A and B are shown apart, each in its own frame.
Chain A
């Protein structure tokens, strides 16, 4: 072994060890937020933050079905009791005993800083008179019984004003004293986890706590089932699914490729050596992603199985193409330049992923580039020297020659390719309206059934209106609350015009300190109030003596001062506030004002403009996510076009002939058209991942085309056929995955790789040429 070979070997081993160390210290994640853009707009950041860590992301909706209503209610109550003590669950409720005594007491205590009706006018003689008159009318109404007890303390009806604004438009249905779906067939609970929705481990533990609480509770009466949904539950399910699929697919892929190679090589040594570049590539890829991103997404690993099919090609080329009689050096001189060009075109294609603006896809790009470069380098510098002196595999020249003859026998190969491309283009034209799926759902690994369940439970809990939200910002919580209040004034006007059905605002739970002070200042001094009240009661059927508690309460409110977040800590009020007022990753405070239908969007937009609240935006959560996705879809399209251009330029620089570039690109272009047409024909709308798959088709296919361009002999054809078989097998297995991301790439590349190889052979039929080696 030469010194150079020894050096290469040493570098390889050290690099593998370092990469292994890096992988050992890597965090593996699975939440789909990695597939959200890296640089969202301010409004989108609020949304992404919310999805990742916000209060919404921490909610787990729990359903109990089966058994009878009584058993479900009993289990529900037992679960609430058990989970109240669970350290991972911040809060849990099922509607039972929802007397909200503490909350009511707080609202009563702070009603003068919470009620928007507290103004100086309301505490004049005329103001008091009309307010008390209204309360007396309320006493006469059916609701009178509910408020009677508090009237001596609150004759102006501030508590009613406060409560009315906090009550949801519709409360959940009840069965046997606990929340239930409207049909009464499922008992419902809402749990809030301590960990963020993106902390998949914490979510998994919280789910385990809920499951064990249910099992304990359901022991008394069997036949009940537990349902859980929510963003965190999705992450956990997705991770489990990805893990399961990745393990299964990686094993299957490995087995198929290994079986194929063993069948062809008839040499376990060759198989083992051939896997070295693959394993090195996979390790390098994971380590590179870990270094670059600080974590590795499960889908990246799943995608990694495809590298088995790609990277194994290099060793196949080496083993099959090298002339056994002349050793590895011959291959390095004759074939390596072509392989190198193929690697470079692949890198150009994958580089597009780096600039897609989506962290998940950028990971795939880094993984692929690092993996392919490592695999190619190991094949070039390490593998030839590791081959044993009498290394040989079964001679496959005969198969190659047979294949060559088969291709050459096809008349007018180029015309067939051209015709296929035209037919494919026609199919694409016919289906042009639904070629692409612009919805973010196309990336979602969660099944439709799961999402429908989530929607059902959400609707039952009256939590489905969170679609249209106005987000306002501030440097601190007070600024955000003040902005929410200014926005609220505009929304009040819209609500009274019937342009919106109402809205929710954090300032209703916690008004800004300024607003609270202003309200306190509206309260007259004790002596004044007494005198005004006496006068205001003239003509009303209530005597001042009965309202002594009112005078005392007003004094008490003044001395209690403003309400702080601490005052409502640990109550349902804080829970509600948490979801509406929070700090985002940039340190800014966000207040969310949820809008209720009916909704007149244009007038809401006008109101936002007129409010002059800086940074206020209307978010249509669903539409925003789709726009966000469509935005980076476009970006990915542009990046792909740039990648394609880079490949063409690279070919021009190397081949220095327009006709040769055209010949190399023709099978690739025709291949891409045919694959896209296949998807269109079976009714699949392509997602971003199909686009990535098409890019891979170009990358893989360029290797084939370059070999055919270089001129092929029987051995080359055999090596290409084998390389193609491994690629089709490993990507084909990937297409069996239920995860849309993997399924899309798998099906696209499996078809594409096969088609481009055939097309390349038809466009540039193999010739047994003595001069073939000189043309590269």
Chain B
């Protein structure tokens, strides 16, 4: 039985690939191994005359641990694990509950759920639209809750196969940030 089911799946697979959907994308994203990438982030803030840039390393450990370690321009780190976010900056360590900062929580969840391939969690807060194909996809996320819309207008995540390459956050006030990721081979 199992053999026949596998055979059937193999025969059907190319046909399904033609219509690349959110389901498949998230299947390819899901995995249980930790993933590492270097990042370059550029924030465009209306208050400032020129964008601020930062860089460092991003580590994701499924299912719910995300570390963002910035090395430039200043060493700092934010480690999110479940509901706890630990921010370390200039020798100062603070632990926050994400549930108490819903604005920040949805931002982090958009990236975390995508990296985890957890479509169910993602679609709780966002409506997701997918463009492109498996080799070059672009996921557009818009908050469902209008109160969150006052902070984040939409988020665009782009990548290839099971890898996220860029995360763009468009804030409601016109400020935006672009994060480019380069995977580090495990």
Interface residues of A (CB under 8 A from B): 95, 98, 136-137, 139-146, 148, 151-152, 164, 167, 169-174, 177, 496, 541-543, 546
Contacts and interface: CB of A to CB of B under 8 A. Distances in A.
Nearest to A547: B47
A145 B97 contact: no
Interface string B85-110: 00101011011110111011001000
A542 B48 contact: yes
B83 interface: yes
A622 B175 CA distance: 52
23 contacts: A95-B100, A136-B48, A139-B52, A140-B41, A140-B43, A141-B89, A142-B68, A142-B78, A143-B78, A145-B104, A148-B47, A148-B175, A152-B47, A164-B94, A171-B97, A174-B100, A541-B48, A541-B49, A541-B50, A541-B52, A542-B47, A542-B49, A543-B49
Contact of B95 (A141, A152, A170, A543): A170
Contacts of A174: 83, 97, 99-100
A141 B70 contact: yes
Contacts, number: 74
Nearest to A462: B95
B101 A146 contact: yes
B96 A171 contact: yes
Interface in B37-92: 41, 43, 45, 47-50, 52-54, 68, 70, 73-74, 76, 78, 83, 87, 89, 91-92
Contacts of B43: 139-140, 144
A146 B108 CA distance: 14
Given A95-B100, A145-B104, A148-B47, 19 more contacts: A136-B48, A139-B45, A140-B73, A141-B70, A141-B74, A141-B76, A144-B45, A145-B103, A145-B107, A146-B101, A148-B175, A152-B47, A164-B94, A171-B96, A171-B97, A173-B97, A174-B83, A541-B52, A543-B49
Nearest to B86: A170
Sort chain B's interface into a size bin: 20 to 34
B104 A137 contact: no
B114 interface: no
Contacts of A145: 103-104, 107, 151, 171
A148 B45 contact: yes
B122 to A, nearest CB: 19
Contacts of B74: 137, 141
Most chain A CB within a 10 A radius of its CB, from B43, B53, B73, B100: B100
A144 B43 CA distance: 10
B47 A546 contact: yes
Contacts of A151: 47
Nearest to B76: A141
Contacts of A542: 47-49
Contact of A169 (B48, B95, B97, B104): B95
A145 B170 CA distance: 12
A308 B185 CA distance: 86
A167 B97 CA distance: 12
Nearest to B93: A169
Nearest to A169: B95
A95 B99 CA distance: 11
A163 to B, nearest CB: 10
Contacts of B73: 137, 140
